[in-house]
Amino acid sequence: MSQYPINPDLVAPGALSDNERLKAESEHLRGTIERDLKDEITGGFNGDNFMLIRFHGMYQQDDRDIRAERTAQKLEPLHNVMLRARMPGGIITPQQWLAIDKFAADNTMYGSIRLTTRQTFQFHGVLKPHIKPMHQFLNSIGIDSIATAGDVNRNVLCTSNPVESELHQQAYQWAAKISEHLLPKTRAYAEIWLDEEKVETTEVEPILGDNYLPRKFKTAVVIPPHNDIDVHANDLTFVAVAENGQLVGFNVLVGGGLAMTFGDDATYPRMADDLGYVALEHTLKVAEHVVTVQRDYGNRSNRKNAKTKYTIDRIGLDAFRAEVEARTGVAFAPVVPYSFTSRGDRIGWVEGIDGKQHLTLFIENGRVLDFPGKPLKTGLAKIAAIHQGDLRMTANQNLIIAGVPAAQKAEIDAIARAHGLIDDGHSEQRKNSMACVSFPTCPLAMAEAERYLPELVTKVEALLGKHNIADEHIVLRVTGCPNGCGRAMLAEVGLVGRGPGKYNLYLGGNREGTRVPRLLLDNVAEADILATLDGLIGRWATERSNSSEGFGDFVIRAGVIAPVVVPKDDFHS
C-alpha cells in the first residue's frame, strides 16, 4: 500500500501478473530458498525460488553447449548460477581483485571473471554447493550482490573519469549513496546467505514497497561531456553539474531503456527525458521518489510494458514530473545546458590533474581469463599484487588501473604488455565494439554474441581497410536477444540475435549515444550483413561531409535510413 495518494486514472489496468503474486508471497524475498539449498536431488532452484534468487544477485543458468548431450543421457541440465556483484561506480581494491581472481579459479566452472556493461563483475558457472560459501566469501572482503537483479534498483553506474580526480570522487560518492539509499531493507540476504539471526519484527520496504518494483530499474551518474555510461540506457540518470571543478547539482533524466520484444510493437527502445535540475541536497530525495512514482504507477499487469519508459509514455512526462515534485516538495529548476561529445573508454595511459597516472585496459568482451598467448587473468593478478591505487571497472567492459605513481608506470606497463593487456595492434574498431554474454550460459540467447564478436570485428576491419579508412571506427554492438544487455540499441550498427546465425541489423545511432538506431534488415545471415556494410562503408568513405562525420550520422544524412524521433510512434514504422 502506497503512503501517497494514488490517481486511479494513471494506474495501468488489468489483472496482476504472476510475478506480483510471487513477490507478495515471498516474505520479503525469502521464499523457500534455504530449503532449496539443501535439496540434493536437483542442482537448480524450484518454483518461485528460480525468480527470487535474482533479487539476491543471481540467475539460474545451464551450459547450453552440453544441454542436448545431457538430455540424451536422461540427465537434467547442468544447473548453476551466475552471480553479479554490487559495485557502485565500479571501484574495487587490488586486494578484493586478488580475492575474486582466486575464487573464480577455484570455485567456478569457467574460471573467469566477466566485466559487464553494468560496471561490475560476474562469476559464471557456480554450482549449488558453492553458492552459499560464495556469498560468505564476498561478504568477508566487503562485497555483496544485493539487488543486482530482479525488480529493484540495480548496480548504480558512474562515469569512469580518473583525470578530473576530485570531481570524479564526488560523483562516485553520490553513486554509492544512491545505491545504499535505494537498497531493499529486508534482511533476507543476511539471513539466507550470511547465517545472521532472524529478528522477529515487522519489516517495511518504505521505498520499494512490499511488492518491490514492477520491473528492473537502472540508475547512473554521469559527468558530461563524456557519455561512457550510456545515459539513455537507464531509467534514472543524474547528469553532473559542476562549478570550478566542484559538483553543485544534477540534471535529472528519466525513462531511458533499450529492451524490446520481437513481434510486439508496444515495446521499443527509448531515449531518456529531462525532468530538470536539482541541487545536491535534494539528490537522494529525488532518486527515492522517482522510484516511488514508478513503483505506484508502473504496469504490474504486463511485464513487457512495466519499465519506467512505458510509464512515462502512458501517463505523460508532465504528470510524472508533477508526482515527483509533490512527493519531494522540491520543484525542478530548468535544465542546466549540457551536451555529450564522446563515448566509450579512452584506452591507454593518461595523466590526471592530481599528477597520478591511469591506465585503461581494453578487455575484449570483458572476459578476464588466460587465453592462449594472452594470459590476461594472470597479468591482472600480477598488477593487483603491486598496485597502490584502485581498479575501476567501466560500463564498456574494460578496466582502469587508477592512481599509479609516476615512478611505477613503467613496471605496470611492462607487466600489461607481457600478458597481452596492452596490444598496440588493437584497432579503433575493436576498441569500439561490444557484445553481451549470450551463449553458452544465457538462457535467453537466440544467437551468438560474445563468442562471435571477435571474428565479426575482424571482418569489419577488413571492410574499413578495403575502403582506405582503416583508422576509422563504427560503434558496433551485438546482442544475442532483444533484451538490451549489450546496448545495441544505442549503436551506429547494432546486431540483435534472432536465431542461430541470424540477426536483425539496425543502423543510425550516433557516436555520442544520443540516438536510437532503426531496423534495416530483418532476420538475415552474416553474408547479407557484411554485403550491406561493405556498400555503405564505401559510400561513407567517399561521400561523408567531413572527416568527423560518423557512420551513423552519414547513413541518416544520405537517406539510407530515417532517424528515430519518437520511439513510441516511429521505431517500428
Active site (catalytic) residues: 84, 154, 216, 218, 436, 442, 481, 485
Q: Which amino acid is at 282?
A: H
Q: Give φ, ψ of 248 to 5 degrees.
A: -120, -15
Q: Number of H helices and number of E strands within the chain?
A: 18, 22
553 contacts 510 by C-beta, under 8 angstroms: yes
375 contacts 463 by C-beta, under 8 angstroms: no
DSSP 263-324: T-TT---B--EEEEEEEGGGHHHHHHHHHHHHHHHS-SS-GGG-SHHHHHHHH-HHHHHHHH
Q: Is 158 annotated as a binding residue?
A: no
Q: Please state, as a whole number, how many other Cβ atoms lie within 10 Å of the Cβ of residue 338.
A: 15
Spatial CA neighbour of 436 closest among 506, 493, 483, 473? 483
Q: Is 436 annotated as a binding residue?
A: yes
Contacts 24+ apart (CB under 8 A), 530-535: 530/459, 530/460, 530/463, 532/505, 533/460, 533/463, 533/493, 534/463, 534/466
Rounded to whole angstroms, the Cα distance separating 573 from 562 reads 10
Rounded to whole angstroms, the Cα distance separating 182 from 173 reads 14
Q: Is 442 annotated as a binding residue?
A: yes
77 contacts 145 by C-beta, under 8 angstroms: no
Q: Which amino acid is at 433?
A: S
Q: What is the DSSP code (8-state) at residue 14?
A: S
Q: Which three cell numbers, joined as nine digits, stand for 549? A: 562525420
Q: Which three cell numbers, joined as nine digits, stand for 31? A: 521464499
- Rounded to 5°, the CA angle 14-232-455 comes to 110
Burial class (CB within 10 angstroms; exposed 0-12, middle 13-18, buried 19+) of 325:
middle
What dihedral angle (degrees, nearest 10) is formed by the CA atoms of 274, 278, 283, 287?
Answer: -30
443 contacts 479 by C-beta, under 8 angstroms: no
Residue numbers in the known binding site are 436, 442, 481, 485
Annotated binding site for siroheme: 485
Q: Which residues are annotated as a binding site for [4Fe-4S] cluster?
A: 436, 442, 481, 485
